[in-house]
Each structure stands twice: as C-alpha cells, then as structure tokens.
C-alpha cells in the first residue's frame, strides 16, 4: 500500500516483511491471560510455602486484583533472613534469566511451557509486609486515592508504612491500614480507585451467595464427567440447583445432542434426581444459534426442555448486523433463558464476533433474557464494564463456569470476583436465587408475561 511504497531506501519485499514482523509482534500477547498466570502462581505459591524462612507471602499486582490479563507478577515475602531467601529464589527451576538479585528484590524471567513471565519478589521485614503488599497490589489509581486520604490527615503512605508526626507506623494487616482511614477492608478485585471508596461494599455478591451453576457439559457432548458425576460434584459444592447443558446437534464435532439423545439423557437426569432429592436438576441444553440466524431446535421441542441457553459458536467473521440479527432472534425466542459467553472472545487468542454489547443489553432487557458472566478465565465475558451496564438496564445475570472438566467448577469464584468489579449484588444474579425463583423468572418469558 501507499505507506510501503513511500519508504525510501528499502526494497518493497523487505519493507513488507518488516511490517509483517511488526504486526505479528504487536498482536503477540505481551500481557498473559489470567488463566495462564494462575498456573504459575499456583506453582510458585506451593514452592514459597516450602521456604521455612518466609514468615508471610502473597502475590500482589494485577493478578491479585483478578484482572483479565497480567503483564508480570509481584510477590511480596517477609522474612528475617533475606539473603537466604534470595539464594533459594535463585535456585527456582523455572528460571530463564536473572534480571536482578538483591537482598530486597529478586527479579526473574521464568519460562513455563511457551510463556516467558517476569516475576519480581520483594523481600521485606515482616513489620513492613502489609504496607508493601498494599502498595504493590495497587491499582495505581487506588493508591493515589489512599495517599490523598492520608495527606488530609497530615500523613503519608508508602510501601514501608504510614509516616506520621509521631514517626513511622506500620500496620500489621491491610485491614489495619484501611481502618486507619475509616475504611472497611477493600478486597483486591475492587481496588480500581473509584467506587471502592464510596459504595457500600457489604452489599456486594460473595461466593457464598451462589446456589447453582447452570452451564455445564457432560460426557454426552464434550465434558469429561457423566451426568451422575457432575450432579455429585455440584451437590458436594453445596449447590441447591443446577442445569445440565450439553451442546446441541449443530455441534457435530463435539457430539452435539439430537432431540432423541436429549430425551434419552433425561432418563439419566431422572436417576440423578432420585439420588439427590434436595437438588433441583434442570434438563437444559446449550443450543447453537445457526449462521443464518435460526435456532438449532424447533419451539415444539424446546418447550420440552426445562431451560435453554443460546450461544454462537460459528461464523465469527459475520458483520455486526448479521451477528446482532442472530442474537436478536435468540433473545426473542420465548424458550431461550440465557445468552452464553455473549462476546465469544478467548482472551489472548481471538477477539470474538462483532457484537454490539449495548444493543444486546437492550434486547435482553426488553425480552427478559439473562446474560452470562462466563467464569472461565479464558473468556471472562461479559466484562465488568458491560456487566455494570447490564445491571443499570435491569438485565439479570447468570454466572456460569461452562464446566467441561471437574476442576472448572472452581472457576465460579473467579466469576464472582468479576461480578463484584461491576458492583453486582445477589439480587442481580439469578444463580444466587432459589430454583423456584429462577424458574419463575424463566417462566415469565416463556408465558410472555411482563
């Protein structure tokens, strides 16, 4: 194109190659998705727990704030033996490069699988631990607000503690630091430098409020657990209701279910109901919205199902108009209770389809359709800002794990953290309600009642 032609002194081929390399470099994820980072954090947590000279430690930074992606990791460790800790850190097996190795900070590049991850370990006295952890948890904007609060009292906050007229005060915990400024403990995921200083945090949703997971796959399509195993696992988590939602027939390559197979699956679900009389188990399905905008089953069949999710898994390259027509058709179907993973993005891998989220929120509000907060860290959609818009529009949310393997059930807590970033309360989130309340909500749409 014009730019390439205009560059003097280089052959066109060379320039094109250079431009191409730059583009690839720019699209390469320099920030890693939370889901990749948490594996290395889990490994490091395990290793650090075995260092007996460590008094307290925790990861800070954007990972502790449960951001979608993290540029690097910051670990805060307290000890009386910094030299010994430093030596132990330099023996970590994942080290690719040592950037700095002092007695207060060890900076390493670790290599795990194909990823290079920058990790800073900050080694402090235990007296400074809480202030250092708070400081390196951030966010930057949160810390600015905290420093303003301190300044109003003639104090100053640093990573070492609180400088007062009487000298340095070192809070033993973050709770003590917040309490000094008449604040409740502000959970890390809320530390954005805005609402956390103004809102009543005690009203926010917590993981304990969750009563159900209603987007999960079994061995009938592409999950690894049988119906019985999945129900057992949800019962063990203390859930009172749940939905089995395997893929629909359009998804042939993951063994999507025909009408006949969904009917056959009910026999297994019925057996699970007998085994768990206290659990309400919905016969559900994750139904594809086809490329032409039609749905994968006829209404005549959908009315047999207790609960229907609609999702897009195909033709991501369609125009916004085409994508929105598909989503609108799904929202307008009385049997569709939820639009799952509404943007289709996979963090660090693909952008998702051309959804107009504001329009989707309008459609959801108008039709009484719920939207999903998909708790899988590779998806995390809707984003916190979209969730806040949905709440403002009165749209109800379901937080689901989209479980395909048993360990994915644990992602529920991550979904809750993201919902908290949007200041959602239990009343906004259908899977904190009882099964009866949820079925009444879905039933109103089915019956066309406002």
Among the listed residues 420, 428, 418, the one whose alpha carbon sits nearest the alpha carbon of residue 394: 428
Q: Is 88 in the site for Zn ion (CB under 5 A)?
A: no
Minimum distance, C-beta of residue 311 to Zn ion, in the bound complex (Å): 4
Instruction: Pick the closer one to Zn ion by CB: 240 or 314.
Output: 314
Cα 285 from chain centroid?
23
Question: CB-wise, 97 or 410, nearer to Zn ion?
Answer: 410
Region of 129-137, 139-147, 164-172, 304-312 interacting with Zn ion (CB under 5 A): 304-312
Instruction: Scan for tokens 């063994």, then name that residue.
Output: 255
Residue 294 CB, nearest distance to Zn ion (Å)? 18
Residue 242, classified by CB atoms within 10 Å of its CB into exposed (0-12), middle (13-18) or buried (19+), is buried
Encoded tokens for 81: 């033996």
Cβ(405)–Cβ(230) below 8 Å: no
Name the minimum Å distance from CB 403 to Zn ion: 8
- For Zn ion, the binding residues in 264-303 under the rule CB under 5 A are 286
Of 5, 25, 22, the residue nearest 13 (C-alpha): 5
We find the least distance from the C-beta atom of residue 313 to Zn ion, in angstroms, to be 6
Of 131, 132, 248, 311, the one binding Zn ion (CB under 5 A) is 311
Nearest to 333 by CA among 391, 288, 372, 374: 288
Q: How many residues are listed for the chain in this entry?
A: 450
Min separation Cβ 339 and Zn ion, Å: 10
Burial zone of 151 (CB within 10 Å; 0-12 exposed, 13-18 middle, 19+ buried) = exposed
Query: Which structure tokens are listed for 137?
Result: 């948890």
Contact between 189 and Zn ion by CB under 5 A: the answer reads no
Tokens of 251: 């998804």
Closest distance between Zn ion and the C-beta of residue 39, in Å? 22
Number of residues that bind Zn ion (CB under 5 A): 3
Of 48 and 371, which CB lies nearer to Zn ion in the complex structure? 371
- Name the packing angle between helices 140-152 and 129-137 (round to 10°): 130
Q: Which stretch binds Zn ion (CB under 5 A): 10-18, 125-133, 266-274, 399-407?
A: 399-407
Could you tell me which of 77, 76, 69, 66 has the C-alpha nearest to residue 115?
Answer: 69
Which residue's CB is nearer to Zn ion, number 67 or number 286?
A: 286
- Compare residues 131 and 400 and give the one whose CB is closer to Zn ion: 400
| Contacts of 24 by beta carbon, 8 Å cutoff, 6+ apart | none
- CB 419 → Zn ion: shortest distance, Å? 19
Two structure tokens written together for 315: 């033709």
Closest distance of CB 69 from Zn ion, Å: 21
Closer residue to Zn ion in complex, CB, 41/347: 347
161-164, strands of its sheet edge to edge:
156-158, 161-164, 167-169
d(CA 192, CA 146): 11
Binding segment for Zn ion (CB under 5 A), chosen from 224-232, 289-297, 395-403, 426-434, is 395-403
Q: Are 92 and 112 in contact (CB under 8 A)?
A: no
Cβ neighbours around 347 below 10 Å, total? 22
Name the residue nearer to Zn ion (CB basis): 124 or 312: 312
* Stretch touching Zn ion by CB under 5 A, among 10-18, 45-53, 275-283, 309-317: 309-317
Looking at the Cβ atoms of 311 and 432, the one nearer to Zn ion is 311
Q: Are 234 and 213 in contact (CB under 8 A)?
A: yes
Nearest CB to Zn ion, comparing residues 265 and 311:
311
- Segment contacting Zn ion (CB under 5 A): 231-239, 322-330, 357-365, 402-410? 402-410
Closer residue to Zn ion (CB): 51 or 316: 316
Select from 402, 417, 438, 442 the one that contacts Zn ion (CB under 5 A).
402
Q: Work out how close the CB of 288 gets to Zn ion at its nearest, in angstroms, rounded to a whole number.
A: 9
Contact positions vs Zn ion (CB under 5 A): 286, 311, 402
């Amino acid at each position: 194109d014009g730019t390439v032609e205009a560059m003097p002194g280089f052959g066109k081929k060379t320039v094109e190659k250079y431009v191409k390399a730059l583009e690839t470099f720019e699209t390469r994820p320099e920030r890693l998705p939370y889901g990749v980072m948490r594996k290395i954090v889990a490994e490091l947590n395990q290793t650090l727990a075995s260092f007996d000279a460590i008094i307290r430690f925790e990861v800070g930074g954007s990972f502790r704030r449960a951001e979608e992606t993290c540029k690097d990791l910051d670990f805060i460790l307290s000890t009386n033996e910094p030299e010994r800790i430093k030596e132990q850190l330099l023996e970590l097996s994942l080290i690719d490069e040592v950037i700095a190795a002092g007695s207060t900070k060890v900076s390493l590049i670790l290599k795990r699988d194909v990823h290079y991850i920058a990790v800073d370990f900050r080694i402090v006295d235990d007296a400074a631990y809480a202030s250092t952890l708070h400081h390196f948890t951030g966010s930057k904007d949160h810390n600015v607000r905290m420093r303003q609060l301190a300044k109003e009292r003639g104090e100053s906050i640093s990573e070492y503690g609180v400088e007062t007229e009487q000298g340095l005060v070192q809070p033993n915990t973050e709770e003590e630091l917040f309490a000094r400024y008449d604040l409740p403990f502000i959970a890390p995921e809320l530390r954005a430098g805005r609402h956390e200083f103004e809102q009543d945090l005690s009203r926010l949703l917590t993981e304990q409020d969750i009563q159900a997971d209603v987007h999960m796959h079994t061995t009938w399509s592409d999950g690894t657990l049988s119906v019985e195993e999945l129900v057992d696992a949800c019962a063990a988590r203390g859930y009172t209701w749940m939905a089995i939602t395997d893929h629909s027939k359009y998804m042939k390559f993951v063994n999507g279910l025909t009408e006949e197979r969904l009917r056959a699956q009910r026999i297994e679900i019925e057996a699970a109901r007998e085994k768990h009389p206290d659990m309400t188990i919905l016969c559900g399905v994750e139904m594809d919205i086809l490329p032409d905008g039609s749905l994968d089953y006829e209404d005549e069949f959908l009315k047999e199902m207790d609960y229907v999710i609609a999702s897009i898994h195909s033709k991501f390259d369609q125009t916004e108009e085409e994508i929105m027509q598909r989503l609108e058709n799904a929202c307008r179907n009385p049997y569709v209770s939820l639009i799952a993973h509404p943007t289709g993005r996979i963090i660090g891998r693909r952008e998702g389809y051309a959804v107009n989220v504001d329009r989707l929120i309008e459609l959801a509000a108008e039709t009484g359709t719920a939207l999903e907060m998909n708790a899988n860290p590779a998806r995390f959609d809707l984003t916190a800002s979209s969730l806040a818009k949905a709440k403002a529009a009165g749209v109800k949310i379901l937080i689901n794990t989209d479980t395909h393997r048993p360990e994915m059930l644990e992602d529920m807590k991550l979904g809750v953290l993201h919902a908290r970033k949007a200041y959602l309360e239990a009343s906004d989130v259908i899977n904190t309600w009882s099964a009866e309340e949820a079925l009444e909500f879905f039933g109103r749409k089915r019956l066309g009642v406002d």
